[in-house]
Structure 1
Amino acid sequence: MRTTRRWATAGVAAALAVTAAGLVGCTAPGPARPAASAPHAPVRDSATPSPAPTRDPAEAFADQRLANMTLRQKVASLFMLHAGGTDGAALRGFSDRYGLGGLILMGDNIPASPEALAGQTAAMRASDPTMPPLIGIDEEGGDVTRLPWDGQPGGEELRGGSPDATRAAFSARAALLKQAGVSLNFGVVADMTADPSSFISDRVLGTDPAGAADRVAAAVAGERGSVLSTLKHFPGHGETDADSHLTVPTTTVSRAQWEARDLPPFRAGVDAGAEVVMFGHLVYSQVDAAPASLSPTWHRILRDEVGFHGITITDDLRMLQDTGLPQYQDAGANAVAAIAAGNTMVLMVQGADTDPAALIDAVVAAVGDGRIPVEQIDADARALIVLRHSMTKEE
């Protein structure tokens, strides 16, 4: 995903640059002539310097903010965590206490009305209006709906209709989210399967690669300009019927089979302009033995071969602990592995047994001993600063 929103200040910057260029034209020294008698436009003297290109204000803002952040503050900004309740001030206090980059809203965060949620999220953003935290939500429609007033259909219904119907549903849903102050929707299921026994079956937007791709692109187009779009769960949950909340689903499909069946919807969503890709806790054993969420190989494939250069985020890291598998019982180690693999951001609906400070400490320590390059932390933190600051122009 690109590191700035498509509707940010690039167009204004370009317009200013063109205006500036028109004002600085001059001729070489010589006798003045009346403008009306000049047969041609003035010729720029080659010695006259061209105007410096106008810089995106969000980029300049990010450089300044990054320069004034400690390593711990940079690391903390890479976490999106959860706190319960509908008290916006208390949620803001939780975010500020740890310096988080975002908060995810779950069912226990949703008040009784859209107006109440808008007031709650406004309070959550109040600490720093120039760089508010990302406020994320899983609002797919259908089986995964957090907002009781979202009456738009989800994947199970939409996949039987046209891409235009998908676009309309996601546009209406995104408008609700924007009005409620939500900035990031984990809502576009780019997984594809025709297997009704698959865990993800009821949520997919298509049962064949082409159909899924068309509707995924339409969903992203529908959300454009209202909320940040997320494609999930890369590289694709449809190759197994297992539930990644309970285990780490594993498939032996080949790389070629993945490219033919599972990649098209993700590629279509990237091409349509999705800003975020969520990595699933899924093992494609023919590609990497590690779950994709912890896999540098899968991050390289998405970046270098699919061409996605935006924000990457894990699926809820708590899910790895909930599998009961011993190698995933250290939450801090999971966070380190996720960032080292290439995720810009770590998402976790942490329980009472997980201390956010300990998660941050683990990553800071990994930077200190060289397991994660400090340059990577700087790049990730800067990308999120640009994104968060750019979003304020739309409020």
Structure 2
Amino acid sequence: MWEHLDSVGAMRGIRRFAGLVAATLITCAVVAGCGGSSSSPSNSPTQPPSTPPTTTQLAQERWESMDIEEQAASLLMLYYPGTDAGATAEFVREIQPGGLVLMGDNIPADEATLADSIESWNAEAAHPLLIGIDEEGGTVTRLPSDTFPAAPQLRDGAPANTRAAFTDRGQLLHDLGITVNFGVIADVTDDPGSFIWPRVLGSTPEAASENVAAAVEGEGGSVSSTLKHFPGHGLAAGDSHISIPTSDIALDEWRESAAPPFAAGIDAGAEFVMIGHLRFPEVSDQPASLSPEWHKILRDELGFDGIVITDSMSMLLDSGEPQYADPVQNAVDSLAAGSTMVLMVAPGTTENAHALVDGIASAVQSGEIDQDTFDSAGILLMEQRLELE
């Protein structure tokens, strides 16, 4: 890629308080009567108690208080290289991204110090950062301490085992201050030669659906879960890190073979779906990450109302297809298509980050990104961030 008061004492205190209140009320009544005031009682209506704002209302207020560049930056989850917590904090202070993604080179030798680093990064952020990580276990593991069962042990097995493994994995991430795990593979394939085979939780739609739902349930309460790689890497041969895998299947076949694990994970409560750089020409000639059609299917057919985050947009640069050689345009196109958040890994520099922010802001101002689409994404992300306060 470019997450007790003593009961008797308490009752005595209550009675003493009630007595004081009663005495005060009697005294006030006597004083008022002796004053002989002829003024009529106030007719001012009693004001109802104020209702605290909802998270959505607070998120909208925060969003509207930001300028266009701050808003654009908040839709980015970025990578900054190395383990220098101070340098990363400076990057956060300058860019104010919506989140940071942790790669292997970001993990210190002493993992326990990562929590302190994340705390220092949040101290520089105007709003809580979403801290993401690819922690599937097994083949894709960033944390050496994650020795919990992964796809090779869990595939096609009892969902209870998957739930337990992801409960432990989620707690590990939570304890380190990581808030989003890009760790639930909802792809399905029965081909051991497939690029994605070592990572899938089921070789059939049924087995994958059960284990995907169990993984999401296991992580619940510890970290936000992410289903990936929508619309499904199992049907599209090839490695999306170096190409755009393509499948010629029809949409009806996709609904039967690839959609069920994503639907199961959504029903289980997954907060994020990662949309992949996968091409299904029967639906769209564009990679799904840039395709309005696939975003619409995810929202309307599968009923997902959470955060759609792209797979790292830097992967499109390595696809070899010249129309995807501009990372800023790729980011703009993904947001215009309906993504909520753009994930960008390499290269992690302030210059590249500023270019992304400026490009997105300009696209909103020109109308290339619809204003309502932009606002909806920003408010949805801000709601997720406010849950961390």
- For normalisation by structure 2, the TM-score amounts to 0.85
For residues 168 and 348 of structure 2, the distance between their equivalents in structure 1, rounded to whole angstroms, comes to: 35
Contact 1:197/1:241, CA 8 A, preserved across alignment: no
AA at the equivalent of 1:247: S
Aligned counterparts, 1:241-252, within 5 A: 241-252=237-248
Contact 1:163/1:215, CA 8 A, preserved across alignment: yes
| Aligned equivalent of 1:254, options 228, 250, 255 | 250
2:26 is matched with which residue? none
Contact 1:220/1:273, CA 8 A, preserved across alignment: yes
- For residue 387 of structure 1, report the CA deviation from its aligned partner: 0.8
Aligned counterparts, 1:1-395, within 5 A: 54-128=51-125, 131-351=127-347, 355-392=352-389
For residues 296 and 46 of structure 2, the distance between their equivalents in structure 1, rounded to whole angstroms, comes to: 41
Structure number with the higher helix fraction is 2
Contact 1:88/1:122, CA 8 A, preserved across alignment: no
2:139 is paired with a residue of what secondary structure? coil
AA at the equivalent of 2:294: W
- For residue 90 of structure 1, report the CA deviation from its aligned partner: 1.9
2:240 is paired with a residue of what secondary structure? coil
For residues 109 and 170 of structure 1, the distance between their equivalents in structure 2, rounded to whole angstroms, comes to: 22
Contact 1:209/1:261, CA 8 A, preserved across alignment: yes
Tell me the alpha carbon deviations over residues 310-362 of structure 1, each in whole angstroms, 9 at most, x when there is no partner: 10000000000011211111111101111001000000102168611111111
For residues 111 and 347 of structure 2, the distance between their equivalents in structure 1, rounded to whole angstroms, comes to: 27
Tell me the alpha carbon deviations over residues 352-386 of structure 1, each in whole angstroms, 9 at most, x when there is no partner: 68611111111111112111112222211111111
- For residue 262 of structure 1, report the CA deviation from its aligned partner: 0.3
Segments of structure 2 that go 5 or more residues without pairing to the other structure are: 1-44
1:278 is paired with a residue of what secondary structure? strand
Tell me the alpha carbon deviations over residues 180-217 of structure 1, each in whole angstroms, 9 at most, x when there is no partner: 00000000000000011111010000000000000000
For residues 363 and 160 of structure 1, the distance between their equivalents in structure 2, rounded to whole angstroms, comes to: 42
Q: CA RMSD in A?
A: 1.8
- For residue 53 of structure 1, report the CA deviation from its aligned partner: 8.9
For residues 248 and 157 of structure 1, the distance between their equivalents in structure 2, rounded to whole angstroms, comes to: 29
Which has the higher mean CA deviation after the structures are superposed, 116-125 or 331-340? 116-125
2:127 is paired with a residue of what secondary structure? coil
> Matched residues, percent identical?
49
Tell me the alpha carbon deviations over residues 235-291 of structure 1, each in whole angstroms, 9 at most, x when there is no partner: 000013300001000000111110111000000000000000000000011111100
1:249 is paired with a residue of what secondary structure? coil
Over 6 Å off, 4+ runs: 48-53
AA at the equivalent of 2:167: S
1:232 is paired with a residue of what secondary structure? strand
Segments of structure 1 that go 5 or more residues without pairing to the other structure are: 1-47
Contact 2:226/2:274, CA 8 A, preserved across alignment: yes
- For residue 50 of structure 1, report the CA deviation from its aligned partner: 12
- For residue 116 of structure 1, report the CA deviation from its aligned partner: 1.1
For residues 296 and 314 of structure 1, the distance between their equivalents in structure 2, rounded to whole angstroms, comes to: 13
Contact 1:198/1:241, CA 8 A, preserved across alignment: yes
Contact 2:240/2:277, CA 8 A, preserved across alignment: yes
For residues 355 and 191 of structure 1, the distance between their equivalents in structure 2, rounded to whole angstroms, comes to: 31
For residues 255 and 321 of structure 2, the distance between their equivalents in structure 1, rounded to whole angstroms, comes to: 29
Number of residues of Structure 1 aligned to a counterpart in Structure 2: 344
- For normalisation by structure 1, the TM-score amounts to 0.84
- For residue 51 of structure 1, report the CA deviation from its aligned partner: 6.4
Tell me the alpha carbon deviations over residues 70-113 of structure 1, each in whole angstroms, 9 at most, x when there is no partner: 11111110001100122223212212211210110001100122
2:387 is paired with a residue of what secondary structure? helix
Describe the shift of the 1:200–1:298 C-alpha distance in structure 2 as closer, same or farther (beyond 3 A). same
Describe the shift of the 1:233–1:50 C-alpha distance in structure 2 as closer, same or farther (beyond 3 A). farther
AA at the equivalent of 1:60: Q
